[in-house]
Amino acid sequence: MRILYILLFLLFAFTSNAQQILTIDEAIGAALKNNYDIQLVRNEAEAAAVDYRYANTAFLPGLSGTASKIWNRNSQRSDFQDGRKRQGDVKSSNLNASVNLDWTLFDGLKMFATRERVEQLKNLGELNTKTQVTNSIATVITNYYNIVRQKQQLKALDTLMSINEERVKLADKKLSVGLGSKPELLQARVDLNAQKAARMLQETLISQLREQLNQLTGMPLESEYDVSDSIPLNLNLNHDSIAKGIENVSPGLLATRKTIDIAELALKERKAELFPTVQFNSAYNFGRTNNGNVVNPEFQPIFNLNKGFNYGFSATVPLFNRLNTRRLIKQAGLDIQYNTIAYNAQRSQIKVDINNSFKDYQYQKKALLLEEENISLAKENVFIALERFKQGVSTYLELREAQISLEQAYNRLIAARYNTKLAETELLRLRGGL
């Protein structure tokens, strides 16, 4: 029973101290929900979507109503030619109300161009959101696997420290039996302390990277968790699958091309301003005046009422506005040229980026294979050097040199894994495949 209690205690202690594992899918899911950059661009896209939902209202008439009530109190005096004079205080009230309807029937088809432009702005907002989502996911992946990389580096330091600890023990034992030297022991301890300091620095770096990931995913900065131990790699990407049809799949290119469509619709709107505008106008008017008394009753009524309905058509013809419309049309044409040039430049740059990223991807794959072979050789070399050192066949300098080679092999291998993941992520980001 006592053994059972001890096992249960150890199990509880391990469970309470173990950190939650955050997977890459969970990190990406949190970023899609909480990332601030994604939230901002989604807000902009929603604003464009709101405008689109009301785009058809441009074809509806405008209806407005007005009403006013005025009370008057005036002192009046009238002198007539026949010598009569009249003077007194006049009180009155006026009530006026009207309902006006204005309906644009023709404006050079500007309404249709405006509605289509608003729709394209909505589509642009969606593409900008997709672009930002792709970039944010790439940043999360880069940061997440950087933590994994530093975690692997930490494990490599632990392995190297275990070798140095063994080296310290052997140097101390050899010194105690008179077969070693004090400098040899001191150097072993110096190397061990240097690795302990490097381990503390590595833990600090992991903590800093974790806070960066927390900021990207919108999690509390003080959140504690662990990450996976390995970096999964896709070693089967090929250039054609990435570069083929890039104009139709890259969110950034699609968004830039959409600005050309928007600029063309803006040109249609400007050209529509050269045509007349025809409107249907209608109004219902109501007016009532109450005079409490009047100075001249022969000509001034005590009560007056006016009401009626009217309708008609009006046309506004642009004759001359200092050539301002012509200027705006030329500006709109230049805007189309600018966006076209920007699209061509971005398309060219993306193709260059794909070529360079794929070359880097190929190099990193080859380097990874080479470093995986090197780590095996370096481990075997350290094992042999350590055994030879135990037997007194080799010096601590030979063992130290083997340790340095193993440390460098670990560094290169871990860097090769991470850099291969970076190259893979960049290729998928350029294509919009994340």
Report the amino acid identity of residue 152: Q
State residue 7's pLDDT score: 41
- The confidence score (pLDDT) of residue 312 equals 95
What is the C-alpha separation between 164 and 263, in angstroms, rounded? 68
On whether the CB atoms of residues 116 and 326 are closer than 8 A, the answer is no
Block residue for tokens 């600005």: 259
pLDDT given for residue 18 in this prediction: 52
Calculate ∠ Cα 335-340-343, nearest 5°. Answer: 125
Residues contacting 48, CB < 8 A, separation 6+ = 118, 121, 122, 124, 125
- Burial of 389 from C-beta contacts in 10 A (0-12 / 13-18 / 19+): buried
Q: What is the pLDDT along the chain (434 residues), one digit of tens a residue?
A: 444 434 444 444 444 445 689 999 999 999 999 999 999 999 999 999 999 999 998 899 999 999 999 988 877 777 767 767 767 677 888 999 999 999 999 999 999 999 999 999 999 999 999 999 999 999 999 999 999 999 999 999 999 999 888 888 888 887 887 777 788 888 889 988 999 999 999 999 999 999 999 999 988 877 888 999 999 999 999 999 999 999 999 999 999 999 999 999 999 999 999 999 999 999 999 999 887 766 666 666 778 889 999 999 999 999 998 899 999 999 999 999 999 999 999 999 999 999 999 999 999 999 999 999 999 999 999 999 888 888 877 777 888 899 899 999 999 999 999 999 999 999 999 998 88
Judge whether 265 and 109 are in contact, CB under 8 Å.
Answer: no
In the structure encoding, which two tokens stand for residue 14, read together? 């391990």
Q: What is the pTM of this model?
A: 0.83
Burial of 129 (0-12, 13-18, 19+ CB in 10 A): buried
Report the candidate in 244, 255, 349, 326 with the shortest Cα–Cα distance to residue 48: 255
Any residues with CB less than 8 A from the CB of 405 and at least 6 apart, and which?
378, 381, 382
Give the distance, in angstroms, between the CA of residue 286 and the centroid of all CA atoms in the same chain: 56
Handedness of CA 183, 185, 186, 192 (dihedral sign): positive
Distance, in Å, from the CA atom of 261 to the CA atom of 178, rounded to the nearest integer, reads: 86
- The SS3 call for residue 67 is strand
Please state the length of the chain: 434
Q: Which two tokens stand for residue 100?
A: 């006006």
CA distance 206 to 116: 50
Beta carbons of 218 and 29 less than 8 angstroms apart = no
Any residues with CB less than 8 A from the CB of 274 and at least 6 apart, and which?
108, 318, 325
Domains of the chain in sequence order? 30-60+112-275+322-431 (1.20.1600.10), 62-106+280-317 (2.20.200)
For residue 266, the model assigns a pLDDT of 96
Question: Do 189 and 164 form a contact (C-beta atoms < 8 A)?
Answer: no
Helix ranges (DSSP H) in 18-109: 24-34, 36-53
What's the token pair of residue 268? 């249609």
CB 224, CB 37: distance < 8 Å: no
Give the full edge-to-edge strand order of the sheet including 303-316: 62-79, 85-106, 277-291, 303-316
Nearest by Cα to 17 from 171, 213, 226: 226
Count Cα atoms within 13 angstroms, Cβ side, for 380.
6
Closest of 286, 285, 293 to residue 72, by C-alpha: 293
DSSP summary character for residue 221 = T
Instruction: Report the pLDDT value the prediction gives residue 89, as an integer from 0 to 100.
Output: 73
